[in-house]
């Protein structure tokens, strides 16, 4: 079972710090002690701010400051906001849901231009923007076209929106520029259709500035695409942080044979700066369905490239379930060419069926990294390819310094169907490069089938890299092709199913990391 963390909604009222201060002063002068805030006695949400919905040529209230934001409670007031660029650096707050039913493309007023981007704070106040149905023909489209500096969006729901164009699409924002950090906090986007013949992002089309994302939910997203597309952002060009993101029922299908970058979270990531770090923590993806060819595809990160610089990718506490039929395909990373990849406590449960030339891995498709480390992660998956390399955890890995896979496992079947080609490996397909790869305390349970000698219950033995195995196991009842390259290998032990499922701890495997129960293969404690 996947542990999907709940999304905690936070109602924020500018100016509450002053109220708290006044309350504290009153409490200090009172003989009755104040009641402390506890889970059973939470602070009540702020009262709605006054908003006059009869006003049609101005805001419904406020002066645009943090303590008294401009209020919007009607479509007329939205139109005033969108046509008044002098307010695009202010605090804006929704005081009612905005329903755009019947508003056609020429009459939909967007916010932000290249010369005057939105740089303020947009407080959704747990209200919604819904029922946008736009055919922009060949134009790029988003609700906020251009943002910059430290633009902030929070506590907002987007609901039942559909956008069609041959141009580029952002579900909320088209482009955030490089002069600051874009913050997305407590944002929900539900029932979104992006009918693009090109590039798209569920919330943001692209950002050349840093992105800070927390408590975001993307659900029921459908996007036919022919170029890079992400469930949250299409193109990300700056080191960024993502945490507590839920992706559900993401359906991408490519209608082009050109190279694609598809990610349930991020389509493509680039950063030429030294030590550019991308952090992804607690990303939960369920019901992922991605179909395409000639692409770099993942439920999370489609393609990441550091252009020879020291880009770092950190993925932790993240889970994926679903099916992906694609090339250069992995549940966490489709393709990466970076300095460092760290993956911990992450998993994939699903299938990767494909019948073409493919390099696929349960967690990572292809990775070129100076340093690679994977800890306490697993895949329960059936992976099929025609030719090329497939692996239960990683399809193809090239490392230049010592790297490791520690306390990981794969359960499932790996099959290549070409009459004389195809290279399946239970844990990893090919390993290449000058760096030694060490696999410690890990196992494979399933079937490995291919018509080339280059296959194995642990690795296929291809690539020419140095591989060291320490206390590694495989189920010799189900996998009979040998540990590496159709042969035995030092450090790998075949055990029959009854032994691996006996409930007896394996010597040298930590009981704080592993759970051993009769009738089951070993499982990670987390």
* Other Cβ atoms closer than 10 A to 521: 18
* Other Cβ atoms closer than 10 A to 481: 21
* Percent of the chain as helix, strand, coil, to the nearest 5: 5, 50, 45
Per-residue confidence (pLDDT) for residue 45, from 0 to 100:
56
The DSSP 8-state label assigned to residue 105 in this structure reads G
Residue 161 lies in a domain: no
Residue 142 vs residue 288, higher pLDDT: 142
- Measured in whole angstroms, the distance separating CA 42 from the mean position of its chain's CA atoms is 32
Q: Which of these ranges, 145-159, 337-351, 448-462, 497-511, has the smallest mean pLDDT? A: 448-462
Per-residue confidence (pLDDT) for residue 471, from 0 to 100:
99
Residue with tokens 């009172």: 30
Residue 493 backbone phi and psi in degrees, to 5 = -120, 130
Domains contained in the chain, number: 1
Residue with tokens 């880009």: 311
Q: How many CA atoms lie within 13 A of 515 on its CB side?
A: 7
Q: What is the pTM of this model?
A: 0.89
* Other Cβ atoms closer than 10 A to 65: 12
Residue 479 lies in a domain: yes
DSSP per-residue codes, 353-396:
---SB--EESSEEEEEEEEEEEES-EEEEEEEESBSEEESSEEE
Residue 324 vs residue 420, higher pLDDT: 324
pLDDT digits (tens, 9 = 90+) for 391-430: 999 999 999 999 999 999 999 999 988 867 778 899 999 9
Residue 392 lies in a domain: yes
CATH number assigned to the domain comprising residue 358: 2.160.20
Residue 293 lies in a domain: yes
Residue 11 lies in a domain: no
Q: For residues 434 and 370, what is the distance between their CA atoms, to the nearest angstrom?
A: 9
Task: Tell me what the mean pLDDT of segment 281-307 comes to.
Answer: 86
8 A C-beta contact, residue 71 and residue 43: no
Q: Which of these ranges, 31-35, 76-80, 297-301, 468-472, has the smallest mean pLDDT? A: 31-35
Q: How many CA atoms lie within 13 A of 190 on its CB side?
A: 9
Stretch (H or E) spanning 81:
helix 75-82
Residue 148 lies in a domain: no
Residue 9 in this model has a pLDDT that exceeds 80: no
Residue 134 lies in a domain: no
Q: Which of 230, 98, 226, 76 is nearest to 161 (CA)?
A: 98
- Strand segments, DSSP code E, in 88-209 are 91-94, 98-99, 121-130, 133-137, 144-147, 152-165, 169-170, 173-176, 181-196, 200-201, 204-207
pLDDT digits (tens, 9 = 90+) for 13-62: 333 333 333 333 334 343 344 445 454 555 555 568 999 999 999 999 99
Residue 26 backbone phi and psi in degrees, to 5 = -65, -40
Counting DSSP H helices and E strands in the chain, the numbers are 3, 44
Residue 497 vs residue 47, higher pLDDT: 497
Q: Which of 397, 304, 12, 399 is nearest to 186 (CA)?
A: 12
Q: For residues 290 and 165, what is the distance between their CA atoms, to the nearest angstrom?
A: 21
339: domain range?
A: 239-524
Residue 266 lies in a domain: yes
Residue 291, CA distances (Å) to 282, 322, 352 in order: 25, 11, 10
């Amino acid at each position: 079972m996947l542990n999907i963390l709940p999304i905690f909604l936070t109602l924020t009222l500018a100016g509450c710090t002053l109220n708290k201060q006044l309350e504290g002063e009153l409490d200090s002068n009172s003989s009755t002690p104040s009641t402390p805030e506890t889970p059973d006695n939470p602070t009540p949400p702020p009262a709605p701010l006054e908003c006059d919905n009869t006003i049609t040529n101005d805001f419904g209230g406020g002066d645009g400051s943090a303590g008294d934001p401009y209020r919007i409670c009607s479509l007329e007031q939205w139109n005033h906001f969108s046509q008044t660029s002098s307010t695009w650096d202010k605090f804006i707050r929704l005081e009612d849901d905005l329903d755009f039913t019947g508003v056609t493309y020429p009459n939909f007023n967007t916010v932000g231009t290249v010369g005057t981007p939105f740089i303020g704070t947009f407080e959704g106040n747990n209200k919604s923007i819904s029922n946008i149905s736009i055919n922009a023909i060949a134009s790029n489209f988003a609700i906020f076209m251009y943002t910059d500096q430290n633009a902030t969006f929070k506590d907002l729901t987007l609901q039942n929106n559909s956008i069609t164009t041959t141009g580029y699409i952002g579900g909320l924002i088209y482009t955030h520029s490089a002069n600051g950090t874009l913050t997305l906090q407590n944002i929900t986007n539900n029932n979104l259709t992006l009918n693009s013949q090109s590039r798209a992002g569920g919330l943001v089309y692209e950002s050349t500035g840093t992105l800070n994302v927390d408590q975001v939910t993307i659900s029921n997203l459908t996007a036919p695409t022919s170029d890079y597309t992400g469930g949250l952002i299409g193109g990300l060009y700056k080191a960024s942080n993502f945490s507590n993101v839920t992706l559900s029922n993401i359906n991408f299908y490519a209608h082009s044979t050109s190279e694609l970058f598809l990610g349930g979270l991020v389509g493509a990531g680039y950063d030429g700066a030294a030590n550019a770090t991308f952090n992804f923590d607690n990303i939960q993806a369920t019901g992922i369905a991605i179909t395409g060819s000639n692409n770099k595809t993942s439920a999370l990160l489609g393609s990441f490239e550091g252009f020879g610089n020291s880009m770092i990718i950190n993925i932790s506490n993240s889970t994926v379930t679903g099916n992906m039929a694609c090339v250069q395909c992995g549940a966490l990373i489709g393709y990466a060419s970076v300095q460092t990849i760290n993956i911990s406590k992450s998993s994939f449960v699903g299938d990767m069926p494909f019948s073409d030339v493919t390099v696929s891995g349960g967690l990572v498709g292809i990775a070129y990294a100076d340093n690679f480390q994977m800890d306490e992660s697993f895949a329960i998956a059936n992976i099929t390819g025609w030719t090329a390399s497939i692996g239960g955890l990683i399809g193809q890995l090239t490392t230049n310094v010592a790297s490791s896979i520690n306390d990981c496992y794969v359960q499932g079947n790996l099959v290549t169907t070409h009459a004389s080609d195809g290279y399946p490996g239970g844990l990893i397909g090919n390993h290449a490069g000058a760096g030694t790869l060490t696999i410690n305390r890990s196992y494979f349970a399933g079937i490995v089938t291919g018509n080339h000698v280059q296959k194995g219950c642990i690795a296929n033995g291809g690539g020419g890299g140095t591989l060291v195995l320490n206390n590694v196991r495989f189920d010799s009842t189900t996998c009979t092709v040998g540990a590496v390259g159709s042969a035995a290998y030092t450090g790998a032990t075949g055990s029959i199913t009854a032994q691996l499922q006996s409930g007896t701890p394996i010597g040298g495997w930590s009981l704080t990391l592993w759970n051993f129960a009769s009738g089951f293969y070993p499982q990670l404690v987390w």
